[in-house]
């Protein structure tokens, strides 16, 4: 029954093509999706009252990377109930550890996961957490 749940998802990346592709995959399954191009846009949306159930974050972005954004979100306690999942090509163990220390629920490497798998993996991570 849990698999039927539809989530409110915010996807943050600096790559518009990937944002559109992932957003489409989630929307096709009935999820409510919004996207932010980069950390600053994501921060504006979150501070503007957007409270996603799932936040999907890239790490490698200009200006503010995904880990810096997540640190800020945690420090200001902006979306405490949101499940955060990293979706990135960053494979540096130190960055992965930092993400875990910031309480991410999952860490998905883009290069090794096709988009449809990303969606099922995200839903699986959130279902386990529930």
Domains and CATH numbers, the chain: 6-129 (3.40.50.2300)
The pTM (predicted TM-score) of the whole model is 0.94
Spatial separation of the C-alpha atoms in residues 6 and 1, rounded to whole Å: 11
Q: pLDDT > 90: what percent of the chain?
A: 92
What does 79-114 look like in DSSP terms, one character per residue?
A: -TT-EEEEEES---HHHHHHHHHTT-SEEEEGGGS-
Spatial separation of the C-alpha atoms in residues 36 and 49, rounded to whole Å: 14
Q: What is the pLDDT of residues 74-109, one digit of tens each?
A: 999 999 999 999 999 999 999 999 999 999 999 999
Residues 123 and 104: beta-carbon distance below 8 Å: no
User: What's phi and psi for 53, nearest 5 deg?
Assistant: -80, -30
């Amino acid at each position: 029954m849990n698999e039927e749940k539809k989530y409110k998802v915010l996807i943050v990346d600096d790559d518009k093509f990937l944002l559109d592709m992932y957003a489409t995959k989630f929307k096709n399954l009935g999820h409510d999706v919004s996207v932010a191009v980069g950390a600053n846009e994501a921060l504006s949306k979150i501070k503007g009252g957007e409270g996603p159930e799932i936040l999907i974050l890239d790490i490698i972005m200009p200006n503010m990377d995904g880990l810096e954004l997540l640190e800020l979100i945690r420090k200001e306690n902006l979306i405490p109930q949101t499940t955060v999942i990293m979706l990135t090509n960053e494979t540096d163990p130190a960055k992965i550890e930092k993400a875990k220390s910031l309480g991410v629920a999952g860490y998905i490497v883009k290069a090794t996961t096709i988009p449809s798998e990303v969606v099922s993996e995200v839903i699986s991570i959130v279902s386990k957490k529930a």
